[in-house]
Structure 1
Amino acid sequence: MARILFISLPFPGVVHPNLSVAVRLAQRGHDVAYFTGQSICGRIADAGITPFPFSPELNAHYQRLVTSPTDGAGATWTQRRRLRAILRNFFSDTV
């Protein structure tokens, strides 16, 4: 059987869809592991998949993306007027 390593950002919306595939592959006899952030490694282990956590530095980076008002998601919120204008101009029609 194959040895398969999943790698993704440590966010539930990214991990959970991949985790269902990882679990199914493991059920079929493949050796499956998952490389992601520490914050979600418990969920991966609970599903029976071997987790490999990011380094502390990489974990800190992704945590900043979620919580910082000037980086990542926080930066998007501060740019919401600009983003709204871009979306209006780009998506002119609804299908």
Structure 2
Amino acid sequence: MIRYHKRFIARVPVPYTPAKMVIDPLTENVYVTSIYADVLTAIQGTEVLTTYKTGWLPFGIGVNPANGWVYVSNTNDHSVTILGFEEDVLE
């Protein structure tokens, strides 16, 4: 029998007041909304990839598993921020 034990991996800093997060099943990136900073942070493994500006008070978040697009509902300006990503092709 194999026993697995949880262990601390890392603490990744994100902007003020992280609220919701989602994992992209295609890339395994994690996306976190920060409601009072009005941003979405992209994390890969234990590293912050980048931070994207969203609308005012981003709260809800979802990812389309077919194409990796990320949707963020912005509560106070009644909008949705949509982030679509393209693959880098290395030659």
Please report the TM-score for the alignment, with normalisation by the length of structure 2.
0.22
Richer in strand (by share): 2
Rg (Cα) greater in structure: 1
Richer in helix (by share): 1
